[in-house]
Amino acid sequence: MTARIIDGKVIASELRARVAAEVARVQREHRLTPGLAVVLVGSDPASQVYVRSKHKQTQEAGMASFEHVLPADVAQADLLALIARLNRDSSVHGILVQLPLPKSIATETIINAIDPAKDVDGLHPNNAGRLAGGFAALSPCTPLGCIILTKSVHASLEGMNAIVIGRSNLVGRPLVQLLLNENATVTIAHSRSRDLALLCARADLVYAAVGKPEMVRGDWIKPGATVIDVGINRLPAADGKTRLVGDVAFQEVSEVAGAITPVPGGVGQMTVACLLVNTLRAACAIHGLPKPA
Ligand code: NDP
């Protein structure tokens, strides 16, 4: 069997087009331009790439994009003051602080300072708690993207056996909650789990969010399962550059799985598209408008 490739590039581009159409509609009907503020502390090259891509895609969707770049040695109080200003700014509907932050800054304090209504990364405890309680919430973008990719293969996830490998606040935990909301039966695995291969063997849906290159092997996978690879790992390449690989051994697994996301070109593409979705949703909710289609 050769798995169907789930093309994150195409699905993300369709999603961005749908967001742009909705942005145009709320502008026309309600004179509302959703605005996203991205805060970058320091000059980490990978973070700079992400921030540039967020800025470009936000503008392309017709939204306002505000970028705030602060030096790596910024005082925590100054960062908190900026967040307080963005919380009050009525042209800003989404606030994203690019992680990781320098060690001198308490990440939890910064996340807690963001107005939950503008928390488009879905990391504020109010949103995490609402999601865990099954209430409407702004949910983290990468897990949202994973669900959209899965639904491009399965219209309904009801009753399916899913395994999520990884339990971070950014990916694993919120993904588990989103899968429960879809009525899947979910197993959560982590670094202390025993016999991952056996746990995976009964899963119809496998999500790998670990950060270990090619850890998930072909003989772990139930034939026909859908495999969503969240991992982004940089390995040295023969030409002295680096190459990206996921947490799934792609060649092996694609011979057994029914559908699989590639790395790159899978989940990574969806994260920024879902950030645009969250910004549009936040803008509509703040202005008392119905949830966009
Ligand atoms: P974290 O390091 O925060 O979490 C990793 C999780 O994997 C932990 O829960 C850890 O368990 C678990 N884990 C570690 N080793 C093993 C193992 N041997 N067996 C089973 N579980 C294990 O990572 P993130 O969740 O932030 O990211 C995971 C991956 O996804 C990374 O490669 C990251 O680059 C990528 N990523 C991709 C994004 C995208 O847009 N595509 C966005 C965000 C992340 P424990 O809790 O016990 O320590």
pLDDT at res. 239: 84
What mean pLDDT comes out for the span 49-78? Answer: 96
Instruction: For residues 162 and 105, state if they share a domain.
Output: no
Asked if residue 174 belongs to a domain, the reply is: yes
SS3 235: strand
From the list 115, 119, 121, 229, the catalytic residue is 121
Ligand 1 atom at shortest distance from the alpha carbon of 263 = 41
Residue 232, ligand 1, Cβ within 6 A: yes
Ligand 1 atom at shortest distance from the alpha carbon of 246 = 32
Taken in order 216, 100, 47, 121, the sign of the CA dihedral is positive
For position 181, which CATH number holds?
3.40.50.720
Asked if residue 72 belongs to a domain, the reply is: yes
Q: Tokens 């139930």 appear where?
A: 222
Residue 31, ligand 1, Cβ within 6 A: no
Out of 80, 115, 150, pick the residue that ends a domain: 115
Instruction: For residues 202 and 240, state if they share a domain.
Output: yes
Task: Report the helix count and the strand count for the chain, using DSSP H and E.
Answer: 10, 11
What confidence tens digit (pLDDT) does each residue in 229-273 have?
Answer: 999 999 998 888 889 999 999 999 999 999 999 999 999 999 999
How many CA atoms, within 13 angstroms, populate the side-chain half-sphere of residue 262? 12
Query: What span, in angstroms and rounded, lies between the C-alpha atoms of 181 and 178?
Result: 5
- Active-site residue, 54 included: yes
Q: In the chain, how many domains are there? A: 2
Instruction: For residues 110 and 150, state if they share a domain.
Output: no
- Active-site residue, 269 included: no
Domain span at 67: 31-115
Q: Is 168 part of any known ligand binding site? A: yes
Average pLDDT, the chain: 97
What confidence tens digit (pLDDT) does each residue in 150-208 have?
Answer: 999 999 999 999 999 999 999 999 999 999 999 999 999 999 999 999 999 999 999 99
Instruction: For residues 111 and 146, state if they share a domain.
Output: no
